[in-house]
Amino acid sequence: MAIKVTWYGHACFMIETGDARLLIDPFLTGNPTAPVEANQLNPDFILVSHGHGDHVGDAVAIAKRCQATTISNFEIQNWLSAQGVEKAHPMHIGGGFDFPWGRVKLTIAHHGSALPDGTYGGNPCGFLLTIQGKKIYHACDTGLFYDMKLIGEEGIDLAILPIGDNFTMGPDDALRAVKLIQPKRVIPIHYNTFDVIRQDPQQWADRVKKETAAEAIVLEPGQSIEL
């Protein structure tokens, strides 16, 4: 069965495997680009990359309503549990775990991770997912780092990279990231949610097409692709 990957704006994705629905960084309430409301999504698992409010987002409310299992670093899981989330799977950077639907490995990310109430959120991360033999790398919020080349050695079918600048990689560094990772396909994210991260994703996609072998896919919030 094909893997369905849907973008809900900013860094939020739903990945449907046929066996499970995975929701990543569910920033929906307060997100001006979100095409759905938090109560419309029913994930089985929620992955949280770091503690910032525009990534933790609606994780607590959705996890409680759906009895979803949250996946994040140990510090964020402690915080989620304190908010009343009952099902949690703590991990940490460099570690991986085989779930019934596929494998999750936490990768490094260069960013911050303070939680909305100021609680220490541990180290931020990206996600390397292996599902039905396909490799998806969601870099989440990060600056460029050379070890992306090592992640690329996994053979990435889809890379999801921020291009917004200011808080994360901008277009130039995100293009360099594509050259390091060498994915088959790449989706730009984390842009145009706020004025300070306004970018032209199609212009970036044109540069990717011209300078790399990757297929750059610009999605509108709510649109999907299949792997």
pLDDT at 156: 98
Q: Which residues of 155-168 are buried (b: 16+ CB within 10 A; e: fewer)?
A: ebbbbbbbbbbebb
H helical segments located in the chain: 53-56, 59-66, 74-82, 148-152, 171-181, 201-211
* pLDDT tens-digit map of 141-170: 999 999 999 999 999 999 999 999 999 999
The 10s digit of each residue's pLDDT in 17-65 is: 999 999 999 999 999 999 999 999 999 999 999 999 999 999 999 999 9
Q: Are residues 197 and 188 in contact, defined by beta-carbon separation less than 8 angstroms?
A: no
- Distance CA(132)–CA(103), nearest Å, equals 10
At residue 131, does pLDDT exceed 90? yes
pLDDT surpasses 90 at 1: no
Ramachandran region, residue 9 (left: φ > 0; alpha: ψ -120 to 50; beta: rest): left
How confident is residue 117, by pLDDT bands cut at 50, 70 and 90?
very high
Mean pLDDT value across the chain: 98
- pLDDT tens for residues 185-219? 999 999 999 999 999 999 999 999 999 999 999 99
